[in-house]
Amino acid sequence: MKRLAILGSTGSIGTQALEVVAAHPELFEVEILSAHSNAELLIEQALQFKPNAVVVTDEQKYIQVKEALSSSPVKVFAGSKSLEEVVQWDGVDMVLGAILGFAGLSSVLAAIDAGKHIALANKETLVVAGELVMERANKKGVRIIPVDSEHSAIFQCLVGEDINNIEKVILTASGGPFLGRKTNYLVNVKASHALQHPNWTMGAKISIDSATLMNKGLELIEAKWLFGLRNDQMDVVVHPQSIAHSFVQFIDGSMKAQMGLPDMKLPIQYALAWPLRINNNFKRLDFKDFPKLSFEQPDYKTFRNLVLAKEAMDKAGNAPCVLNAANEVVVHAFLQNKVGFLEMSEMIEKTMASVAFVEHPTLEDYQHSDAEARNYASEFVKKSQLSIY
Ligand code: NDP
Ligand code: MG
């Protein structure tokens, strides 16, 4: 029996993780659940899964959750400091990091410091502070099992392989809802359109990141740290059907791919059950439904976020942290129709040029760079024509 802390249980990944847990009561038990402000769903989940404790990080929701669970034995805590404490409890075997954005970093680091194995969905944790996170994990002997579908694919391709035999990894990208579109079209697209991903159903932020290809840029940085790769060992290929979830090419030229229907429950289940591979009743891939699998080069000229992310990765230090913070701010603004689709790249680029470079950041430096980048990006957002009118 594995006892899980599911951080971000009310999100797209969190709710799917709970479906996996519910389907395998003989393997999994929920020890901790956390949400930010969706008190109603957190309460519902607590009553169904009966965890030892829940944490609502938005402290204003504490009373509501506490009162609703007053006649149950579930302990209720509020605030992100509480989250950092409960993930370290003896009763927790594995932590699923499925909080969104920079906010997910501190609880994952706390869990690593307590020697808990991590199933990691929150890619921003590795984008922002990958070097530090992996260093601490290695020191503690903690395994970080990827949940992100591309990284789960690579992880699965590497089972039984010597990591030194990797020549290259190739991340697949669906291309998102605007594949093939050019800037004259993109200049006018709205959030409602950008949220309609052709293959995956995901949270709002990552859906926008998929539409801008920032998601793939973040995933390159995530892969670099997870698998200890050099920047020139990674590539991206657009694969609109999202069936091959990524490739590993080895030193003899042989390539492996992991394939399946685009369903996040599969990589979630793989990470939670690891090192086991367990059964399920998910819909199976039938090649009759996919007579053509195609692959093409990304359009770097139109989707500039992918280039910006690569630049941040090459620059290293606090550059990916700054890129991530600026991206979180502009995506949030785009979702509220306060900035245009193409403006997002411009604002990220300007933020990257504005924040001072730190070559070897500490955790405090990352926190500082994140805050500074958010300030700059917010100022750029305020100056957007869409924000003003
Ligand atoms: P959602 O927006 O659907 O869910 C985010 C979760 O995090 C919710 O439980 C939310 O709580 C919580 N949360 C939000 N802000 C905070 C905060 N400041 N402090 C604490 N908790 C917070 O996101 P997704 O599930 O889509 O994504 C989660 C992570 O997984 C992201 O890093 C994403 O990149 C990654 N990922 C997601 C995939 C997907 O298919 N969705 C695929 C691959 C990776 P509340 O509901 O109360 O607001
Ligand atoms: Mg992914």
> Is the pLDDT reported for residue 369 higher than 90?
yes
148 lines ligand 1 (CB under 6 A): yes
* Structural domain boundaries, residue 52: 2-146
Give the ranges where 24-104 is alpha helix by DSSP (H): 39-49, 62-68, 80-86
- Number of compact structural domains in the chain: 3
Statement to judge: residues 292 and 331 lie in one domain: no
CB-CB contact of 52 with 39 (8 Å): no
CB-CB contact of 62 with 39 (8 Å): no
In this structure, is residue 272 part of a structural domain? no
Statement to judge: residues 202 and 132 lie in one domain: no
CB-CB contact of 311 with 322 (8 Å): no
Statement to judge: residues 116 and 161 lie in one domain: no
> Is the pLDDT reported for residue 389 higher than 80?
no
In this structure, is residue 120 part of a structural domain? yes
Statement to judge: residues 303 and 353 lie in one domain: no
Statement to judge: residues 252 and 330 lie in one domain: no
> Is the pLDDT reported for residue 175 higher than 70?
yes
Q: What's the token pair of residue 272? A: 């939670």
Q: Where are the beta strands (DSSP E) in 92-207?
A: 94-97, 117-120, 144-146, 166-173
In this structure, is residue 268 part of a structural domain? no
Q: Which of 122, 386, 371, 380 is nearest to 268 (CA)?
A: 122
Q: Share the mean pLDDT of the chain.
A: 97
Asked if residue 275 has a cis previous peptide bond (ω within 30° of 0), the answer is yes
With H, G, I as helix, E, B as strand and everything else as coil, classify residue 317.
coil
Q: What's the token pair of residue 16? A: 């799917």
DSSP string covering 296-312, please?
B---TTT-HHHHHHHHH
First to last CA, the chain: 56
Amino acid, single-letter form, for residue 177? P
pTM of the model: 0.98
Mean pLDDT value across residues 20-28: 98
Q: What's the token pair of residue 212? A: 């801008």
CB-CB contact of 19 with 45 (8 Å): no
With H, G, I as helix, E, B as strand and everything else as coil, classify residue 363.
helix
Distance from C-alpha of 229 to C-alpha of 246, rounded to nearest angstrom:
15
Statement to judge: residues 7 and 141 lie in one domain: yes
Statement to judge: residues 177 and 294 lie in one domain: yes
List pLDDT tens digits, range 261-316. Answer: 999 999 999 999 999 999 999 999 999 999 999 999 999 999 999 999 999 999 99
In this structure, is residue 184 part of a structural domain? yes
Q: Which of 329, 333, 337 is nearest to 373 (CA)?
A: 329
CATH number of the domain encompassing residue 91: 3.40.50.720
Mean pLDDT value across residues 352-365: 97
Half-sphere exposure of 286 (CA within 13 A, CB side): 4
> Is the pLDDT reported for residue 118 higher than 80?
yes
Domain boundary among 308, 324, 340: 308
Distance from C-alpha of 381 to C-alpha of 373, rounded to nearest angstrom:
12
Domain boundary among 80, 111, 146: 146
In this structure, is residue 278 part of a structural domain? no
Among 19, 20, 36, 105, name the best residue to mutate to test ligand 1's pocket (greatest count of ligand atoms within 8 A of Cβ). Answer: 36
- In this structure, of 181-190, 192-201, 293-302, the range with the lowest mean pLDDT score is 192-201
CATH number of the domain encompassing residue 327: 1.10.1740.10
Statement to judge: residues 171 and 245 lie in one domain: yes
> Is the pLDDT reported for residue 360 higher than 80?
yes
In this structure, is residue 266 part of a structural domain? no
| Measured CA distances, 319 to 311, 322, 349, 352 (Å) | 8, 5, 11, 7
pLDDT at position 350? 98
Statement to judge: residues 135 and 241 lie in one domain: no
**Angle, nearest 10°, between helix axes 341-354 and 204-212?**
90
> Is the pLDDT reported for residue 385 higher than 90?
no
- Shortest-distance atom of ligand 1 to CA 37: 47
With H, G, I as helix, E, B as strand and everything else as coil, classify residue 346.
helix
pLDDT band at 200 (very low <50, low <70, confident <90, very high): confident
List pLDDT tens digits, range 316-357. Answer: 999 999 999 999 999 999 999 999 999 999 999 999 999 999
- CB 357: neighbour CB atoms within 10 A? 13
Statement to judge: residues 169 and 301 lie in one domain: yes
Q: What's the token pair of residue 386? A: 């869409």
> Is the pLDDT reported for residue 388 higher than 90?
no
> Is the pLDDT reported for residue 101 higher than 90?
yes
Ligand 1 atom 33: residue of nearest CA = 122
* Distance in Å, CA 161 to ligand 2 centroid: 22
Ligand 1 atom 26: residue of nearest CA = 203
Percent of the chain whose pLDDT exceeds 90: 97
pLDDT band at 201 (very low <50, low <70, confident <90, very high): confident
Statement to judge: residues 134 and 215 lie in one domain: no
pLDDT band at 386 (very low <50, low <70, confident <90, very high): confident
* Distance in Å, CA 30 to ligand 2 centroid: 25
- Shortest-distance atom of ligand 1 to CA 122: 32
103 lines ligand 1 (CB under 6 A): yes
Percent of the chain whose pLDDT exceeds 70: 99
Sign of CA dihedral 304, 306, 309, 314: negative
Statement to judge: residues 195 and 303 lie in one domain: yes
CB-CB contact of 107 with 158 (8 Å): no
Report which bound ligand comes closest to the CA of 42.
1
* 386: Cβ contacts below 8 Å, ≥ 6 apart: 337, 338, 339, 340, 343
| Measured CA distances, 356 to 226, 318, 366 (Å) | 26, 9, 12
Q: Where are the beta strands (DSSP E) in 36-113?
A: 53-56, 75-78, 94-97
